[in-house]
Amino acid sequence: MIFQELILRNFGPYRDRQIINLLPQSEPNRRPIILVGGLNGGGKTTLLDAVRLVLYGQRAQCSTRGKLAYHDFLNQSRNRQAGDQATTLKLRFQLYLTYTTQPSEFHIQRT
């Protein structure tokens, strides 16, 4: 699975629509990685939680969820300055299926 793009809208500290490109430029025979850095409270863990939520939904093991019910955790994760705007998480990725030679592209969205 190759993550290509994560789109956050009003999730955690990410207000409005934020697009994160997860597909680095790579050279032949190299295995590129992406490093995410920032100050404490800058939203690094929130990015990981967003990927988990998109992929696993209610079963996601998120860092700050603890014993919170899924609905309560989602309400807590909304950006406080978003007002009535919806919170959306979207992940675009490629996956090589066993019967194909080319990767298939998938989009998952949770609102």
> Which stretch of DSSP H or E encloses residue 89?
strand 88-95
This prediction's pTM: 0.83
Tell me the pLDDT of the chain averaged across its residues: 88
- pLDDT grade for 54, boundaries at 50, 70 and 90: very high
How much is the pLDDT for 96?
86
Exposed, middle or buried, 1 (CB in 10 Å: 0-12/13-18/19+)? exposed
pLDDT, tens digit (0-9, with 9 covering 90-100), for 31-51: 778 888 989 988 899 999 999
**Architecture of domain 2-110 in this structure:** 3-Layer(aba) Sandwich (3.40)
Domain ranges (residues) in the chain: 2-110
Alpha carbon distance 82, 104 (integer Å): 34
How much is the pLDDT for 16?
92
How much is the pLDDT for 84?
83
Alpha carbon distance 34, 80 (integer Å): 29
Q: Residue 105 to residues 8, 46, 60, 69: CA-CA distances in angstroms?
A: 19, 24, 22, 32
Largest CA distance in the chain: 47
